[in-house]
Chain A
């Protein structure tokens, strides 16, 4: 019995965001079909993979991560160069030291470090704040100015601080991460608020604040999937590429942190943790995420191999 494969005919697409400039610029998004379904539309850009750099030496990072970045963990510029060596398309600098509980680093100092990292690598940059909304607004003001004209991706803007960060992006020519915790209506609302300030819609990347495998990934999956479906059906305020901070979430889990032997059935920590990060990444890419921030270089390598296979038409 012959089976007719039903073809969808989508009339709209996800916006394409440009990060960086010149020969190392990277395009994110632009899909006019569901993830990896080549028969129904275009997938002009592979999902983009970033590795994460901190602006201070991490305390209490799992050993598999620490050993991958041996010798560079206290030097963000060297660390960023290492990430590029490992094959990252983009580097994500997280300004962890700015958190009041860490070093409470000033916005000016953050901007200096961001500038050093930007000068040290040629790939596009994502700059993430410390997660304290009011402080991030002030940090991004200085960072945006210091990186003026380099077309970075600044985050994370929330309903509380989006005005300052949007203004900084507009004045200095950057893109913005719009962050809302797993709520598609709030996601849409924040994108409307940002575009009402006249930042172009194709300068916005959506962060749905995902959970890793085993800790709510299904919910994130369905939000990201619904976002893609809405984009394809013509909802311009959900037609933005999605970013997932995979490494940040996966390496918090017990599965990543439990040392080999603690639970004998769980086997080797390194293998287990990398697989946890990798499966989180591949799952969220399958949902529709086009920009994934990982931590372990082996996860990145395996994820890129996976993409090589799945991007064949």
Chain B
């Protein structure tokens, strides 16, 4: 289970202020904190307050701070292609990840070549200009369009992370089972392709957020989810993932199995 830490996002007050004041310290703190909690990637998002023309420079600045703090690759989270390119170019550790494209032809034609250029992994959302599909089958259909396009551009399947888009349990409760079925279908239809979800979407504006997130993540692991963008601050989440890896026969059991997620 590849864990992408979600915290370095300008939507959070401390990061938003750090970006405004050009203060690297909150970014350094959360880079370190998520790394020590076991994150494999750091999602980096400038947030909505940064002007479009400044987003590329801010993204580059944020990625550099992350790289200087911890030896983790960044996941470049933006809707601005210049910001994504700047982030990809600045990343120094491991394989950078683009967050994200979707099934829109224009977007795929823009981001898939960029992924090739930077030897990047890329997250692809199973939605297009018509929105988020309702059924597992429709999600899987969009996933296959993405897979075909990726293949045409020569992107390796293991660098493609399909996100079937989880929606909040309080307003879109019927989507959970569809997402689970979509993950299963996508993994079966395109061997080698990876999957991911933005886990915190599960519980936006719900109570017991962490419990909902954690429970859904384990459900997804059982149907083959490869990675997720998560709140690394939830220790119980990391523990549940470690336990699930043992139960799914992926990691050898030992009495101190909870300690093993700290060893990379």
Contact = CB atoms under 8 A, between A and B. Distances in A.
Q: Are A and B interaction partners?
A: yes
Interface of A: 184-186, 188-189, 192-193, 195-196, 226, 230, 235-238
Nearest to A238: B252
Which of A184, A186, A188, A230: most chain B Cβ within 10 A?
Answer: A188
B174 interface: no
Per DSSP, are chain A's interface residues mostly helix, strand or loop, or mixed?
helix
B252 A185 contact: yes
The 10 A-B residue pairs with the shortest CB-CB distance in the complex, in nearest-first order: A188-B254, A189-B254, A236-B263, A185-B254, A192-B256, A185-B253, A189-B255, A188-B252, A230-B252, A184-B252
B251 interface: yes
A212 to B, nearest CB: 25
A235 B264 contact: no
B260 interface: yes
B13 to A, nearest CB: 36
A54 B263 CA distance: 38
Contact of B259 (A186, A192, A235): A192
Contacts of A189: 254-256
Interface residues of B, number: 10
Interface in B223-257: 251-256
Nearest to B246: A185
5 contacts: A184-B252, A185-B255, A186-B254, A189-B255, A236-B264
A238 B253 CA distance: 11
Interface of B: 251-256, 259-260, 263-264
Per DSSP, are chain B's interface residues mostly helix, strand or loop, or mixed?
loop
Given A185-B252, A235-B251, 12 more contacts: A184-B252, A185-B254, A186-B254, A192-B254, A192-B256, A192-B260, A193-B256, A236-B263, A236-B264, A237-B254, A237-B260, A238-B252
A196 B253 CA distance: 17
Contacts of A236: 263-264
A226 B263 CA distance: 19
B256 to A, nearest CB: 5
Nearest to A192: B256
Contacts of B263: 195, 236-237
Contacts of A186: 254
Contacts of A226: 252
Contacts of A193: 256
B197 to A, nearest CB: 22
Contacts of A195: 263
Nearest to B158: A9
Contacts of B252: 184-185, 188, 226, 230, 235, 238
A178 to B, nearest CB: 12
Contacts of B256: 189, 192-193
Contacts of A185: 252-255
Nearest to B256: A192
Contacts of B253: 185, 188
Nearest to A188: B254
A15 to B, nearest CB: 12
Which of A186, A192, A193, A226: most chain B Cβ within 10 A?
Answer: A192
B213 to A, nearest CB: 25
Contacts of A184: 252
B60 to A, nearest CB: 28
Contacts of B259: 192, 196
